[in-house]
């Protein structure tokens, strides 16, 4: 049903006159009458009793007038909601990220929240391998990846450059070394993340290339559990530098360079290349783009 005939009918009901309704809506009286007649035909009900001198609503007319008022209120609420979205005093921002990449969002979210405190921010934890498909399907507006999805349907912006750090317990024999060779790691027990990632594959290939055994005897589901295992000297690990930065600073872990393995991690904010983004998402892109 079109909303305009309802608006015309409600104006007639409020003004109790076709002519006054026409003046208010800047329409001729015949145009007003025709709009009400079409609404009656569409609903299959007489809405106005035209038999007397005064304009009287039928029972059906009273019901339609009540719903028309609700539509009018909803229209006003819609206009208000859209205005709030445009000036960022409302709305929701949903970003997909995995456990480690969500850390790279913190500084950007902090600034975004200062600028737009009324926008609700939700970082949705998901496997990084699923984020490109979720963006394309419309399940996410923004995503954070540590690799380039190489998909023309997606646009990427680098928001942080990190590196993969080799970390050991302060009690480990390598803890006071500045660097080690990959050949020295053949006897070590590695605590690995049990989620396949491009960086895990790079590490495996480098060990294979140098003909060094890689003992991933322990696999854990989260970065947090890997960090704790390494702190307890139950193994060594390769982890994103940002994930262990505080532990290294506090002396809970020691970072040691591996001469043959220097891997930068480019953290990318990813979004659909052609689909229109919400006001909240566009504002977040502006915040990220103006980061020093």
Average pLDDT over residues 200-208: 92
How does pLDDT run across 67-126, given as a tens digit for each residue?
Answer: 888 888 787 767 756 776 676 666 788 899 988 888 889 889 999 999 888 888 999 999
Please tell me the predicted confidence (pLDDT) of residue 91: 74
The better pLDDT of the pair 180, 71 is held by 180
pLDDT at 291 over 60: no
For residue 130, name the pLDDT band (cuts at 50, 70, 90): very high
For residue 50, name the pLDDT band (cuts at 50, 70, 90): confident
CA 186 vs. chain centroid, Å, equals: 41
How does pLDDT run across 163-173, given as a tens digit for each residue?
Answer: 999 999 999 99
Please tell me the predicted confidence (pLDDT) of residue 88: 64
How does pLDDT run across 232-260, given as a tens digit for each residue?
Answer: 999 999 999 989 999 999 999 999 999 99
Distance, in Å, from the CA atom of 69 to the CA atom of 84, rounded to the nearest integer, reads: 23
Of 87, 84, 80, 17, nearest in space to 48 by CA = 17
For the chain, domains (ranges, CATH) are 3-86 (1.10.10.10), 92-160+266-289 (3.40.190.10), 162-263 (3.40.190.10)
Distance, in Å, from the CA atom of 228 to the CA atom of 230, rounded to the nearest integer, reads: 5
Please tell me the predicted confidence (pLDDT) of residue 118: 84
Percentage of the residues of the chain whose pLDDT score is greater than 90: 51
**How many angstroms separate the Cα of 71 from the Cα of each of 3, 56, 62, 112, 138?**
8, 21, 14, 35, 29
């Amino acid at each position: 049903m079109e909303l305009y005939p309802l608006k015309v009918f409600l104006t007639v009901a409020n003004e109790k006159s076709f002519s006054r309704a026409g003046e208010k809506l800047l329409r001729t009286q015949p145009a007003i009458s025709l709009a009400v007649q079409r609404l009656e035909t569409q609903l299959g009900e007489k809405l106005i009793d035209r038999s007397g001198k005064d304009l009287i609503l039928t029972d059906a007319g009273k019901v339609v007038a009540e719903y028309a008022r609700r539509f009018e209120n909803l229209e006003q609420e819609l206009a208000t909601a859209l205005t709030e979205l445009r000036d960022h005093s409302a709305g929701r921002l949903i970003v997909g990220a995995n456990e480690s990449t969500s850390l790279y969002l913190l500084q950007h979210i902090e600034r975004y929240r200062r600028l737009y405190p009324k926008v609700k921010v939700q970082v949705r934890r998901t496997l990084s391998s699923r984020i490109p498909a979720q963006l394309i399907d419309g399940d996410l507006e923004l995503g954070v990846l540590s690799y380039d999805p190489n998909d023309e349907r997606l646009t990427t912006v680098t928001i942080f450059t990190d590196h993969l750090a080799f970390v050991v317990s302060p009690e480990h024999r390598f803890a006071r070394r500045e660097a080690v060779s990959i050949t020295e790691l053949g006897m070590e027990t590695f605590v690995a993340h049990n989620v396949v990632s491009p960086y895990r594959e790079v590490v495996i290939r480098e060990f294979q290339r140098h003909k060094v055994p890689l003992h991933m005897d322990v696999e854990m589901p989260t970065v947090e559990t890997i960090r704790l295992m390494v702190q307890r000297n139950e193994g060594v690990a390769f982890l994103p530098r940002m994930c262990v930065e505080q532990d290294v600073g506090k002396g809970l872990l020691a970072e040691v360079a591996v001469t043959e393995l220097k891997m930068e991690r480019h953290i990318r904010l990813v979004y659909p290349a052609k689909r229109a983004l919400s006001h909240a998402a566009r504002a977040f892109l502006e915040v990220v783009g103006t980061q020093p």
